[in-house]
Amino acid sequence: MYKHWLIEIAIFLTILTILAIPMGEYMAKVFTGQRNILSPIMLPIENYLYKIFKIDAHEDMDWKGFALNFFWFNLAGIIFLFLLQLAQRYLPFNPENFGAIRWDTALNAAISYVTNTDWQPYPVESTLSYLTQMLGFSLQNFFAIASGMAISIAFINAFVRKNTRGLGNFWVYLTKSLLYVLLPLALILSIILLSQGCPDNLNPYTRVNTLEGKQQIIAQGPVASQVGVKALGGGGGYFTANAAHPYENPTPFTDYLTIFSFLILAAAFPFTFGAMTSNRANGWAIFIAMLLLFILFLGVALWSESQGNPLLAKLGLIHGANMEGKEMRLGVLSSTMFCTSSAAASAGTVNAALDSLMPITGLICMLHLALGGVGFGCAGLGLVMMLFYAMLAMFLIGLMIGRTPEIYGKKLGSYETIMINLMLFLPGALQLIFGAISAATNMGTTTLTDYSPHGITQIAYTTISTIVNNGSAFNGFKTDTLFYNLTSGLGMLVGRAVVIICTLATASSIAAKKISPQASCFATTNLLFIFVLLAVILVFGVSIFLPVVVLGPVMEHLAIFAGKTF
């Protein structure tokens, strides 16, 4: 069985690598304004959009202007999506006559989708109308991913430009991301999903009588067209069960296709970085670091799930791998790859119950989120986090060898050091603070059903998932409450704002510096640098989250294998 797993993983990662290279080169052409295969179709549309929205495509924004446009655009999205949910009772394409969503849930959902978190504490198919899904959540999925890609390109520009505060144009990068990357890929994915049996219609829900004589309601709707963009990093699901639902994920092929879709843009961005900075070896080094981290975490998760639960084995109920909470048609390998890939990409979609994972597997998913998605993180922002870790690694190397830290031809000063620390440590501090508030208050624990170490894991994962804009949850307790809707909504906003402001402010400072010959810098393309980079990432994760990890998943793992129940 394990040999079969290794073969499947090797084939999958080989295909991902082979396709990520041309995808990265293609995106580099798109964002640098070079002619590409879609230019004859998209360029006239792009120019027309600039004209009707009165956008000066040649305007070069500094980081404050870039951030201001980003936040105004996102604020408009939150207001629109919030009002759409409150008004869905009176709007068309609502064959089930769903009423208005409760205000705190609607606000949470609006913040969630605009920040690319896609947190779903409610039963989706019994809450949202077709119009709310299409015009609201699906549209915001496109905008949220494109906004993140725009930030990533601005950060890459910091290492391309010199002696300038300009980072490019937010509206141009947003438009190019939508027209040249997201729309074509989402269309291709939707067509493939349709061919595999994923429905796409506006029909009322189907009522059928079961063999037991009871009525069953089968949800319908524009599923394929919504799932296509979700799989590219938007996250969430058309159904409450996400990709465990056979309409959303009909076959094993669509399962692997969805995993591939989570990772392809993130895997391509290192090659975009290499092409735009005219040093493809740097891009390869970042990609290899991401790949090794992904393989390490996936390996640990598969080992954990393959051990199974010894408590059930002692009772003679289940022997072998852990199948609790998993789809029988998908199995352990696919379910574990899906969950860890979704966590790595901050996609927030699942095809199995995270609450039923073995403790160490849950720990791996939690670490993927806590480290900022550096193992193929969401559509470019994973590259940004990896570059911040690379700058931290280079700062530590500079201390050891006694010279000013430099990376990719740019010197790192005190300002960059402060911003690196804010970027890497502040989200972790926020996660611990919000988690402590939830665990220490009655409002945070009222709906908790498990007061064992697993309960700590549930609260910690919920907090981390919202602040890093992932959106998945263990769902061992009810989070659709006023307390969690408001606190998690605030966490999503603050988490997103910290990443965006730190990224753009750091990029502006680096772009203003001159470019030094990279031959005089510590090499960033060899195995030594990759090893140091991975060590810094892992040590960082352990130092920040060790108490939570020990009290939660580690304690639960030790208890299970000691035969103790709670």
Alpha-carbon dihedral sign for residues 312, 315, 318, 321: positive
pLDDT per residue as tens digits for the range 235-260: 677 888 888 889 999 999 999 999 99
Whether pLDDT at 1 is above 80: no
Residue that wins the pLDDT comparison between 69 and 308: 69
pLDDT per residue as tens digits for the range 341-399: 888 887 878 888 888 888 999 899 888 888 887 778 777 788 899 999 999 998 888 87
pLDDT for the residue numbered 2: 72
Q: What value does the mean pLDDT take over residues 12-31?
A: 96
pLDDT category at 409 given cuts 50, 70, 90 is confident
pLDDT for the residue numbered 518: 60
Could you tell me what percent of the chain has a pLDDT over 90? 49
pLDDT for the residue numbered 519: 54
What pTM value is reported for the model? 0.93
Q: What value does the mean pLDDT take over residues 188-211?
A: 91
Residue with tokens 């894991």: 457
Q: What value does the mean pLDDT take over residues 144-170?
A: 92
Question: Which residues does residue 215 pair with via DSSP β-bridges, in sequence order?
Answer: 209
- Show the tokens assigned to 356: 């039923």
Q: What does 522-552 look like in DSSP terms, one character per residue?
A: PPSSSHHHHHHHHHHHHHHHHHHHHHHHIII
pLDDT for the residue numbered 520: 59
Could you tell me what percent of the chain has a pLDDT over 70? 98
pLDDT category at 317 given cuts 50, 70, 90 is low
Q: What does 20-42 look like in DSSP terms, one character per residue?
A: HHHHHHHHHHHHTT---TTHHHH
Asked whether 161 and 390 are in contact (CB, 8 A), the reply is no
Q: What value does the mean pLDDT take over residues 145-167?
A: 92
How far, in Å, CA of 444 to CA of 433, rounded? Answer: 13
pLDDT category at 522 given cuts 50, 70, 90 is confident
pLDDT category at 30 given cuts 50, 70, 90 is very high
How far, in Å, CA of 334 to CA of 350, rounded? Answer: 11
Q: What value does the mean pLDDT take over residues 21-45?
A: 95
How far, in Å, CA of 509 to CA of 494, rounded? Answer: 22
pLDDT per residue as tens digits for the range 163-199: 888 999 999 999 999 999 999 999 999 999 999 999 9
pLDDT for the residue numbered 404: 75
Element holding 1 (H helix, E strand):
none
- Show the tokens assigned to 285: 């080094």
Which of 361, 360, 340 is CA-nearest to residue 351? 340
Q: Counting Cβ atoms within 10 Å, is residue 139 exposed (0-12), middle (13-18) or buried (19+)? A: middle
pLDDT for the residue numbered 234: 65
pLDDT for the residue numbered 322: 81
Q: What value does the mean pLDDT take over residues 217-236?
A: 84
Residue that wins the pLDDT comparison between 519 and 83: 83
Instruction: Encode burial over 33-44: b for 16+ CB neighbours within 10 A, e otherwise.
Output: eeebebeeebee
Alpha helices in 327-452 (DSSP H): 331-344, 359-370, 381-401, 414-440, 442-445
pLDDT category at 447 given cuts 50, 70, 90 is confident
pLDDT per residue as tens digits for the range 252-303: 999 999 999 989 999 999 999 999 999 999 999 999 999 999 999 999 999 9
pLDDT per residue as tens digits for the range 494-506: 999 999 999 999 9
pLDDT per residue as tens digits for the range 454-464: 888 888 888 88
Q: What value does the mean pLDDT take over residues 547-554?
A: 86
Asked whether 438 and 463 are in contact (CB, 8 A), the reply is yes
pLDDT for the residue numbered 149: 93
pLDDT for the residue numbered 108: 92
